[in-house]
Amino acid sequence: MNARIRQPTVPWLVRVAAVVVALAVLVILPQQSTPYDNLQITLVAAWAVVIAGLNLLTGYAGQISLGQAAFFGIGAYTTAITALHGWPVVLSFALAFLLPATVGALVAIPAVRLRGHALAMITISLPLVAVPLAKRLDGLTGGSQGLTTPIGSAPTWSGLADDQWAYYVVLTVAAALLALAHVAVRGRTGRALSLIRTSEVAAVTTGIPVRRYKMVVFALASGYGGAGGFLYVYCVRFVSPESLDFLLGITLLCSLVVGGLRSSAGSVVAACFYVYVPNLVGDINPEKSSLIYGAVLLLVLLFAPAGIAGAARGLWRRRKLLARKLATSWPAPSTPTGYLAVAGSTETSQEENGGLTPTRSTASNPSSKTR
């Protein structure tokens, strides 16, 4: 039943409707909710960009990277420092994207010769270098104290509070970046990446310049990490060496897997997981938070190995089958036909059918009437 892989899994119209509804909710939301909630949603958007970058590299190109935290850090520090020097915010953003992308491309030169776990090992070293560097260069980075930076204040003409302004800016930029990433991995490029992920040898013989692809994806993923760092600083206005700890790289990878590889929606789910689950777990029992976090992770991997987005896609694909199952089990066989008869004119025909024939059970479930 899982065998069929249809390309547009969810119909086009449903997708558009979902996006429109989501947009409407997201536009109205900050007017109604507290600054804390606004900040949380803004953070989800910022991390979604970081994770979308990782998804390009790990999900699509199949290159495991634990170093995304370092590129996030470069982006965040670039933003903080340039904002402190009064640079225009657009320039800060451009630099927060380009600088990590360049570093990423440089790292990629040796790294593309490696694959799988060897690449993962190399990328671990990046945050291990970045954190002490951020602490030592205290003239530039403020050392262990970190940097507080004046960015993301709402202009007076907008009439918005700072948190609302940051919310709108960060969500808009994040949406644009996610859309770009979504488009970038479709068609020819997406197929090339999926063959590289499957087998580099097969990819080369099909005419795909594997190393060039890996370098570009590595640079792009790093740029997304940096852009996420910019968005993070834009709403938090603070960065310190702790925020690019090397555990972050591992947590991001875990979140991506939980959210779902190779799915744009998966990156957003992953960011929600990254931002909200530690809070939720802390609320349940602050002492055992890592334990509960780990248990959640294991549960997702056991029951939804393709991540939450993958599981949702699977459910959607099998919805007819599931609806049929529900229909046969839900209206219990013992239900007196009399009750059904008053429910509506469509039920009358079932009386003639009688018994538990499939036609009856499917027809009495409203969710399956579309067929």
Residues that bind another protein (CB under 8 A): 2-7, 187-188, 191-192, 194-195, 197-199, 201-202, 204-210, 262
Q: Which two tokens stand for residue 57?
A: 């590299």
Q: Terminal CA-to-CA distance of the chain, rounded, Å?
A: 18
Q: Which residues of 4-36 are buried (b: 16+ CB within 10 A; e: fewer)?
A: eeeeeeeeeeeeeeeeeeeeeeeeeebeeeeee
Q: How far is the CB of 226 from another protein (least distance, A)?
A: 23
- Find out whether 147 and 78 touch, Cβ atoms under 8 Å: no
Nearer to another protein, 134 or 181 (CB): 181
Q: How far is the CB of 147 from another protein (least distance, A)?
A: 38
Nearer to another protein, 55 or 82 (CB): 55
Question: If 0-12 CB within 10 Å is exposed, 13-18 middle and 19+ buried, where does residue 339 land?
Answer: exposed
Q: Which two tokens stand for residue 82?
A: 């340039």
Nearer to another protein, 2 or 156 (CB): 2
Q: How far is the CB of 207 from another protein (least distance, A)?
A: 3
Q: Which two tokens stand for residue 79?
A: 């933003």
Q: How far is the CB of 307 from another protein (least distance, A)?
A: 12
Question: If 0-12 CB within 10 Å is exposed, 13-18 middle and 19+ buried, where does residue 94 land?
Answer: middle
Number of Cβ within 10 Å of residue 97's Cβ equals: 23
Q: How far is the CB of 62 from another protein (least distance, A)?
A: 10
Nearer to another protein, 161 or 306 (CB): 306
Nearer to another protein, 132 or 209 (CB): 209
Q: How far is the CB of 251 from another protein (least distance, A)?
A: 24
Q: How far is the CB of 80 from another protein (least distance, A)?
A: 34
Q: Which two tokens stand for residue 307?
A: 């991540």
Q: Is the torsion defined by CA of 231, 51, 18, 277 positive or negative?
A: negative
Measured between alpha carbons, how far is 117 from 64 in angstroms, rounded to an integer? 7
- Find out whether 220 and 53 touch, Cβ atoms under 8 Å: yes
* Angle (CA) 72 63 221, round 5°: 30
Nearer to another protein, 8 or 286 (CB): 8
Nearer to another protein, 212 or 288 (CB): 212
Q: How far is the CB of 13 from another protein (least distance, A)?
A: 20
Nearer to another protein, 145 or 205 (CB): 205
Measured between alpha carbons, how far is 250 from 25 in angstroms, rounded to an integer? 32
